[in-house]
Amino acid sequence: MIPPEFEYHRPETIDQALVLLTQHGEEAKILAGGHSLLPLMKLRFAEPAHLVDLNFIESLRGIKESNGLIEIAAMTTESQLITSPLLLDKCPLIPDAASQIADPQVRSRGTIGGDIVHADPGNDHPAIMLALEASFVILGSNGERIVPASGFFLGAFDTQLEENEILKAIQVPVSVAGSGHAYCKLKRKTGDFATAASAVSLVVEGGVCKKINIALTNVGATALKAEAAESILTGQTLSDLLMEKAVEKAMAICDPAEDLRGDREYKIHMAGEMTRRAIREAFAKATGGG
Amino acid sequence: MAKKHISFTLNRQNIDVLVEPRELLIHVIREQLQKTGSHIGCETSHCGACTLDLNGQSVKACTVLAVQAEGGEVLTVEGLLQNDKLHPLQEAFMQEHGLQCGFCTPGMLMRAYRFLQENPQPTEAEIRSGMAGNLCRCTGYQNIIKAVQTAAKNMASA
């Protein structure tokens, strides 16, 4: 299978890339890791006349920390996320989730930015971004804007990113003392999208859950933030009763499509189970038991 | 669409080749450059038969454009042989019978080649997750895992 014809562009700076995007408008597509776009092009689901390859722009790679924020350049690969000492130490949810994506070869090409802006409901980073309260640094010809992850995902394959804009970096807060995280993902096999997955990030102080974020993957048109479930647990000590109430609330927002991974009932049930496991694991990590 | 000249090294030799932008790296290597060791299995980046080494990383060459190899270093299974000597991984796959039909083997070897550089002393579980992007429909994987273990041992004592 060979993609349809296109013109290939290899900019070396973000400015060059922005010029190309403006010049070619909706005929242009950004090529990041290529592990979603190239398969779509082989199937003729996407037929861009121009591909703007971001792989050779140095400033789009790398992970750094400043002012309590970790900034991950958008073209950082999944393998680089998994092995980043900075993330492992200060934002371990990202490497944990990245190691559950696809397989080693795909992770050497696939990028965090590509996974986010492609916004396939099966992609994992959108839920991770919601759970971490991340922000996205977006560049366009009119300059830079910073958009919170919450509200960024508009629908399946649809985000606030305009066609002449580039996601430059992802900002996530450094995890604080007493925080715990987990990403529990059910998949049928290596390389498959999640049947259902749940990302949890929480802070525990003196046994009380001070703050909790819960976000779900592949049980709706976008990653879903389970806010009603979060408010059940916020300010409380974790008990079986509250856990079950929260899980129920998380299941109530699921609206998955039936496919070969299962019917709606099964997927919603699994989203609940993944949430239960992720809360337990995150809580155990926050209290030193994990 | 206008063809582009690209240059890269293939198994340590300089290559200059004319490609269409839409051509996949695996096709250029097999069809134009006649290195048919890397196989095409699924062409959808699932099976790993086309795995090769690009700039020090394992990639599935069915999901990389040939133009993206411009200026890069590519190593395929043909490049494992040096001075007419098999690589310790190739020896270990023979010794442990880490193959049956052999179709997935070039991809297995190239993934294992990179994996053992990332992790020279892996546990069995680490080998299984490190090789998770390569499918084998014959062996049930047991002997492939053993072959990687044997190669790791032999390379450590070499």
pLDDT of res. B2: 87
Residue range A169-175: mean pLDDT, rounded: 97
Please tell me which residue of chain A has the smallest CA distance to B55.
A108
3-state helix, strand, coil in chain B (%, to 5): 40, 20, 40
Q: What residue spans in chain A does CATH classification 3.30.465.10 cover?
A: 66-172
Q: How far does B78 lie from chain A, in Å, by closest CA?
A: 19
Of the CA atoms within 13 Å of residue B17, those in its CB half-sphere come to 25
Query: What is the per-residue pLDDT for A264?
Result: 98
With a cut of 90, say whether residue A288 has pLDDT above it: no
Nearest CA in chain A to B118: A83
pLDDT of residue A289: 67
Residue A171 pLDDT: 98
Separation of CA A256 from chain center: 18
Q: Do B21 and A5 touch (CB under 8 A)?
A: yes
Q: Within chain A, what is the greatest distance between any pair of CA atoms?
A: 61
Residue B151 has a pLDDT of 98
CATH architecture for segment(s) A7-53: 2-Layer Sandwich (3.30)
Interface touch B65/A106, C-beta < 8 Å: no
SS3 for A114?
helix
Q: Do A108 and B22 touch (CB under 8 A)?
A: no
Nearest residue of chain A to residue B50 (CA atoms)? A105
pLDDT of residue A7: 97
pLDDT beyond 60 at A290: no
Average pLDDT by stretches of 10, chain B with 158 residues: 93 98 98 98 96 98 98 98 95 98 98 98 98 97 98 94
Q: Is the pLDDT of residue A280 over 60?
A: yes
Structure tokens at A133: 């309260």
Rounded CA-CA distance A182/A20 in Å is 40
Record: contact B58-A55, CB cut-off 8 A: no
Q: What is the pLDDT of residue A83?
A: 97
The verdict on domain A66-172 having CATH code 1.10.510.10 is no
Q: What is the pLDDT of residues A81-137, one digit of tens each?
A: 999 999 999 999 999 999 999 999 999 999 999 999 999 999 999 999 999 999 999
Dist CA B43 CA A290 (whole Å): 40
User: Torsion over CA of B119, A110, B72 and B120, rounded to 10 degrees?
Assistant: 0
Residues A191, A193, A198, A200, Cα dihedral to 10°: 50
A201-218 burial, b if ≥16 CB within 10 A, otherwise e?
bbbbeeeebbbbbbbbbb
Alpha-carbon span A224 to A34, nearest angstrom: 25
| Min distance A258 CA to chain B CA atoms (Å) | 23
Q: Quote the pLDDT of residue B25.
A: 98
Q: pLDDT digit string (tens) for A202-228?
A: 999 999 999 999 999 999 999 999 999
> Residue A141: its pLDDT value, please?
87
Give residue B32's identity as a one-letter amino acid code.
Q
Q: How many degrees, rounded to 5, is the angle at CA A222 between CA A219 and CA A224?
A: 65
How many residues appear in chain B?
A: 158
Rg (CA), chain A: 19
Task: Give residue B32's pLDDT.
Answer: 97
Q: Which fold has domain A180-286?
A: Enolase-like; domain 1 (3.30.390)
Q: Cα A209 to the chain's mean position, in Å?
A: 24
Domains, chain B, with CATH or none: 4-79 (3.10.20.30), 88-157 (1.10.150.120)
Q: Taking the model in full, what pTM does it have?
A: 0.96
CB contact (8 A) between residue B132 and residue A79: no
Residue in chain A lying closest to B59 (CA): A105
Which whole number is the average pLDDT over A4-21? 97
For residue B36, the model assigns a pLDDT of: 98
Alpha-carbon dihedral A258, A264, A269, A275, rounded to 10 degrees: 60
pLDDT, one tens digit per residue, over A37-59 is 999 999 999 999 999 999 999 99
Cβ-based contacts of A53 with chain B (< 8 Å): 65, 67-68
Do the Cβ atoms of B22 and A5 come within 8 Å? yes
